[in-house]
Structure 1
């Protein structure tokens, strides 16, 4: 595995600072945020300097019950080639559910949700990863995610799940130590036990990020300083293996460049404190393709699809919590999804918070409670604006005129019909 060194997540808001930052060996970019034919000048200059750029996907949904979408795989492959990347990365998560497989409305989470650590989910994930590996021009690495909720009836620990996944598919692992900390706080899982069970030679690189505590849980925000417990987990990992690369993630609430450089120095110090053990000997090479390509039993996909659709419907459409889930924790996750949705819509359609000012966030959260997301964020922004215009609940005529003009500029003179979901999916959650 290529050694990457120390890196930082490239974001447009800190692009200039990243270019000037000393000691940056590589950067990671959200794959969906770049266009292969029109790379940002900053990324182009970094590549010309020999800085490695890795595309990091967030929308593939490899942990979902459906097979990976060919269009999304093609787009990810194009970005890998445009960036000259040595690998691409994605998440062990599902991001949508429903549709033809389950004969239920198609719903989007708008964020990463955990897969159950069951044999069914593992079988489906392994097949989905093999499909992705065959479609991509470079190796794939997949990331463990942070979770606010736990699935009932899980059969494997996180370490066991990741070990079997890597062993059966040859996929590489992107280990996020901040997510191990999140799962320790929220799910009572021991990070040291997870690290002890991992196939260490499969690690492609490591994520480090900050978060905060609220509602009795830890939120992996990528908007706060990296806490000491996360650095301690990184040090523990470095006592077991020398990580090929370590990267600081920051998605918003960006501090001054000097603060980012201080965090990078702390990350380097945490790795050095661990000593960087050599990779284990005697195991098959990470990234080697396996030959066990039997197709997953269709019944496993259906069982997983029904379970994920029921959970996502409870989170975004207010239907009853599936049996075995903690209702209070589901409500925390539901609020977190709505908040994330509001934040992303504000980024893809920044005119909306400008037009609505302080009314934007409460209006969007109220909309999200009664309107599940069924398409992408840009469609969500249009549907939100249309809903406000239909409801007529706007502070003044000037705001209404500005919002209507914005909507017409993007939707055209013919108002698209909003998808109507069954009444049971439109009930507001308690």
Structure 2
């Protein structure tokens, strides 16, 4: 068996245990938490040749570290970017990771494939569950598997919106993905809850249809309801319905690993420890036999026992709270009897990429550039998703360029959201921060001269040029007057 075939083979997954998402803001707390078997780190937040001291210490004491990617966009119409794949591969090697993970999502659209401007979502967006999208995703996954030094697992994502005219359920879509590529699954039970509330999809039905023998590990996280929908914030305690779904999953299969995610509003170490204890208790209570994961349960070398996955009769499914104004979800069309494991050929795949690309570009343009909603989408939900993307964009720009909120104070967020309404992101968050500052400066803002001088100095230091002068400001006013504004 060759290296690529080995990475695609469905052999026994690494036994990880109970872990937590490592973030710089809670690095010391993570190191001090008892019974942490492993951590997951956002791959894009790491340098390819240097690890933070905290991760070095964790690795030295035998803690497994798994890189979790967010920017590949394997569900997008384009082939995966070779540079992003190479960077992810280097980070996996640097960490000595047993696997890497990403998402079933698209994060950008447009470009040469559709002869339209390139657009960045700045967040994970759902792919249409269609045959075209599945063919494109499978080819992209194989490309990624060939480029990575360790096996790949993909995560189901949370969604605020539903694509019209879908041909497959999520379970059918992911099951065929696993069958055709051998990729493993990272099941986020918080995302199953999100899709239950927002799209009317039943978690128990999804779990019953998923190939749980391909499970790599499980994500658990919190959120809140706002604007009539559930937002997967990773900034709130894990709610009861999410723990109920975790219990249902654990009653069906022994999870190789379970991980608590927290990205914002970090609580005290004691609260994190309590949430981890609740996760352990939930999994233990759901198992009809001794728990296979737990606080510090190790064998020699720091590894967990490696039993084969065992299917058991599930306990009675716990149904979370009723959906809050769910979006009607179309019934799946019966699957045609055909062998989808065989590639369609270069021409067929290119045509599928073009069709997927056109659809994704139309959706993303509506969300970030104010173009009309594509036919079949819920316009109200698109508005909620659009505001969520803009808010996420403001938050991330504030993190990668923390001087901007410090310079602008209370004016930062409303000013950025106004900027984002008509300026789609096209080249990443750092360029976005520079473009935002330039937009303010050419508009003679902020009004306070001292604040404007500080902003100009910040912009000049990073852009390497002089701040916009009178001619640039005049041109900006003309462009603004001619620019179509979003409703």
State the TM bucket, normalised to the shorter chain. Answer: over 0.9
Among candidates 406, 417, 429, match of residue 377 of structure 1: 429
Deviations 1:305-326 (A, max 9, x none): 0000000000000000000000
Alpha-carbon distance in 1 for matches of 2:286, 2:464: 58
2:222 paired residue number: 210
- TM superposition shift of 1:392: 1.3
1:286 paired residue number: none
2:486 maps to 1:429: yes
- TM normalised by structure 1 equals 0.94
Asked if 2 retains the 8 angstrom alpha-carbon contact of 1:243 and 1:276, the reply is no
Deviations 1:228-278 (A, max 9, x none): 000000000001000000000000100000000011011111111210677
Alpha-carbon distance in 2 for matches of 1:37, 1:92: 27
Runs of at least 5 residues in structure 1 that lack an aligned partner in the other structure: 282-289
1:78 paired residue number: 90
2:175 maps to 1:145: no
Deviations 1:343-400 (A, max 9, x none): 0000000000000000000000000001000011000000000000011131300110
Matched residue of 2:407: which SS?
helix
2:222 maps to 1:170: no
Alpha-carbon distance in 2 for matches of 1:40, 1:294: 44
Matched residue of 1:297: which SS?
helix
- TM superposition shift of 1:293: 5.2
- TM superposition shift of 1:415: 6.5
Alpha-carbon distance in 2 for matches of 1:269, 1:161: 31
2:397 maps to 1:345: yes
Among candidates 241, 245, 260, match of residue 233 of structure 1: 245
Q: Which moved more, 1:374-383 or 1:291-300?
A: 291-300
Matched residue of 2:421: which SS?
helix
Among candidates 371, 376, 379, match of residue 324 of structure 1: 376
Matched residue of 2:77: which SS?
coil
Asked if 2 retains the 8 angstrom alpha-carbon contact of 1:241 and 1:276, the reply is no
Q: Which moved more, 1:264-273 or 1:307-316?
A: 264-273
2:114 maps to 1:114: no
1:358 paired residue number: 410
2:452 paired residue number: 400
Alpha-carbon distance in 2 for matches of 1:270, 1:191: 17
- Cα 1:235–1:144 change in 2 (3 A) is same
Asked if 2 retains the 8 angstrom alpha-carbon contact of 1:63 and 1:115, the reply is yes
Give 4+ residue runs of structure 1 displaced > 6 Å after superposition: none
Asked if 1 retains the 8 angstrom alpha-carbon contact of 2:100 and 2:150, the reply is yes
Asked if 1 retains the 8 angstrom alpha-carbon contact of 2:66 and 2:97, the reply is yes
Alpha-carbon distance in 2 for matches of 1:359, 1:269: 45
2:469 maps to 1:412: no
Asked if 2 retains the 8 angstrom alpha-carbon contact of 1:159 and 1:195, the reply is yes
**How many residues are paired up?**
419
Alpha-carbon distance in 2 for matches of 1:137, 1:292: 25
Alpha-carbon distance in 2 for matches of 1:178, 1:42: 27
RMSD of the alignment, in Å? 2.0
Runs of at least 5 residues in structure 2 that lack an aligned partner in the other structure: 1-12, 290-307, 312-339
Alpha-carbon distance in 1 for matches of 2:51, 2:484: 43
Asked if 1 retains the 8 angstrom alpha-carbon contact of 2:459 and 2:467, the reply is no
- TM superposition shift of 1:148: 0.2
Alpha-carbon distance in 1 for matches of 2:200, 2:140: 29
Q: Which moved more, 1:267-276 or 1:155-164?
A: 267-276
- Structure number, greater radius of gyration: 2
- TM superposition shift of 1:294: 5.3
2:102 maps to 1:102: no
Among candidates 126, 131, 135, match of residue 123 of structure 1: 135
Asked if 2 retains the 8 angstrom alpha-carbon contact of 1:60 and 1:90, the reply is yes
Query: Where do 1:182-197 residues align within 5 Å?
Result: 182-197=194-209
- TM superposition shift of 1:299: 1.1
Alpha-carbon distance in 1 for matches of 2:223, 2:381: 18
- TM superposition shift of 1:291: 7.8
2:243 maps to 1:243: no
Q: Which moved more, 1:165-174 or 1:266-275?
A: 266-275
1:63 paired residue number: 75
Alpha-carbon distance in 2 for matches of 1:428, 1:114: 26
Alpha-carbon distance in 2 for matches of 1:413, 1:63: 38
2:359 maps to 1:310: no
